[in-house]
Amino acid sequence: MRISVNSNSTHVIVAIEGRLDTTQSDSFEKQLLEVIESGQTKIILDCKALDYISSSGLRVFLIAQKKMMAVAGKLLLCNLQPGIKEIFEVSGFSMIFSIHPDLETAIAAI
Amino acid sequence: MSKPIKYKLSVSNQLSELGNIHSTLEKLINDWDIPLQFGMPLNLAIEEAFTNVVNYAYHDHEQRLIDIEFVRTENQIEIIITDNGFPYDPTQNADPRTDLPLEERPIGGLGIFLIKKLMDDVQYQRHSDKNILKLTKRITQ
């Protein structure tokens, strides 16, 4: 798993790549919280290259969303692969995240 | 496919074995003609079950072996996870509320729930001091 962060004057795009399993979630949590704690209030998580997620990865998404809510920020997700989307639906995460089909619509919504 | 095909993997009770489990599953999916979309739910169910055993089944830090047996029949795959840890039946776990708003959603507690939702059947047995968890997924082309 690796993430890359691209920011401009209005928002930051965090692209997640690879597998987010139990062995990777601590590192992902640390990296994502660094972005949030740097004061960014508009964040898009681009999941185009996210191939796999387990409950430990979902946990980090939820922590991030709660932190963004606390600072009245916006956290948007886009480009979820079908398998990942199914996991979000089953967990009820589809209702607590703003999920967009692609990066363009996410940028337009932020 | 008339006779079941089987493959057994023995791994130690370390989370670092997840890579080994993942690559074994990928190979079986390829060799056993399982459509790729089943990779994610199967992998996730095994990871959640295995992680639970590693984190909670043993109360010391000794190395143990956990068996993961894969059985492919015509219409399904079974994954049987056997450990010799303390008795624990994950099928008795209460399901979390997935309809709560963000503020009320607790962090964590989704692992076993995801296994139950993604598999077609989950059976637990305690037999000869062993926990035996059988996950079944129907395979459709």
pLDDT of residue A75: 98
Rounded CA-CA distance A89/A59 in Å is: 15
Residues A45-69: tens digit of each pLDDT:
999 999 999 999 999 999 999 999 9
Greatest Cα pair distance in chain A: 35
Q: Does B107 touch chain A (CB under 8 A)?
A: yes
Write the residue in B101, B105, B110 that is nearest to A55 by C-beta.
B110
Write the residue in A59, A69, A95 that is nearest to B108 by C-beta.
A59
ipTM of the complex: 0.93
Structure tokens at B40: 């994610």
Asked if residue A72 lies in contact with residue A79, where contact means CB atoms within 8 angstroms, the answer is: no
pLDDT of residue B42: 98
Q: Does A89 touch chain B (CB under 8 A)?
A: no
Average of pLDDT values for A35-43?
96
Rounded CA-CA distance B11/B29 in Å is: 19
Interstrand relation of B65-72 and B76-83 (parallel, antiparallel or unpaired): antiparallel
Question: Which residues of chain A does B45 touch, with a Cβ-Cβ cutoff of 8 Å?
Answer: none
- Output the CA torsion sign for B12, B15, B21, B23: negative
Residue B99, judged by CB atoms within 10 A of its CB (0-12, 13-18, 19+), counts as exposed
Write the residue in B39, B98, B102 that is nearest to A65 by C-beta.
B102
Distance from CA of B24 to the nearest CA of A (A): 16
Q: Please tell me which residue of chain B has the smallest CA distance to A51.
A: B40
Nearest to B135 by CA among B81, B86, B73, B82: B81
Residues of chain B with pLDDT under 70: 1-2
pLDDT of residue A34: 96
Question: Which residues of chain A does B44 touch, with a Cβ-Cβ cutoff of 8 Å?
Answer: 52-54, 87
Q: Does A21 touch chain B (CB under 8 A)?
A: yes
pLDDT of residue B1: 59
Asked if residue A89 lies in contact with residue A64, where contact means CB atoms within 8 angstroms, the answer is: no
pLDDT of residue B61: 84
